[in-house]
Structure 1
């Protein structure tokens, strides 16, 4: 395998740390939901934590596939102490949008490299995760809308 651009490995490690922070974030949020809609919302949050962990696994596997060392760090986590469902969803939306940006950044790095089987694999990985993260953004956008409203809350 040819030498991989260190910026690609650094971006993958940033993605790994971001996704690991998401596992903690979604798990924490699931503890803080109260009210009549608690059960389905907790289920969605815990499902999101599991999916985010899977994304972290994929990033870590990608890093070791490239012959590099995965980070042991966890991305930025900010306790806002805002635990209203709307606040949780808005923070989740910001988290998911940041993830989309990171995967687009990876895609840009990869597509600027000479095409090889490794770069094609990384490009497909980035595109797949962009699609999944964009879907998450869309789901949260819909949850933040008032019932009967079709207009997106994303500015």
Structure 2
């Protein structure tokens, strides 16, 4: 196996940690702004996403310390458009999922054939983020549409 660039990997893991912490704040914020007949299931879904983002952040932080690094205390970018209808929230969520997916793919590039543990971690999270992006994409479709809403 090729040698792992620990500093680069720690840097990406810290970006993931920051992004996932931003997801906790973002999804919690969104859950507070849902109104209307479909409020309860949408709030439940958003809060589930916040909970999952926290678990992802904790996992990334644990890997940072596993590699001898220091976990970032920063939080990733938080977008506040002041557009609070469900469609806008879902568009912003899709953008957030795509950004997270890009970081996990970057981690995979750095760890492939260098660390089985980190490579498997990156693959697992890529799979989860792709599923999340797919769920949001489906929610953005009009009822009856089967074509993908947006291109990945």
TM-score by length of 2: 0.95
The higher relative CO (CA closer than 8 Å, separation ≥ 6) is in 2
Gaps of 5+ in 1: none
Question: Aligned equivalents of 2:68 and 2:4: distance in 1?
Answer: 9
Q: Which runs of 5+ in 2 are unaligned?
A: none
Report the counterpart of residue 106 of structure 1 in structure 2. 107
Matched, 1:146 2:142: yes
Q: CA deviation at 1:5?
A: 2.5
Q: Using the alignment, how far apart are the partners of 1:88 and 1:45 within structure 2? A: 10
Partner of 1:122: 118
The runs of at least 4 aligned residues of structure 1 exceeding 4 Å deviation read: none
Matches within 5 A, 1:23-38: 23-38=24-39
So what's the TM-score if we normalise by structure 1?
Answer: 0.93
Tell me, yes or no, if the aligned pair for 1:4 and 1:66 is still in contact at 8 Å.
no
Check the 8 A contact 1:8/1:106 in 2, yes or no. Answer: yes
Instruction: Map 1:31-110 to 2 at 5 A.
Output: 31-110=32-111
RMSD: 1.3
Matched with 2:129 is: 133
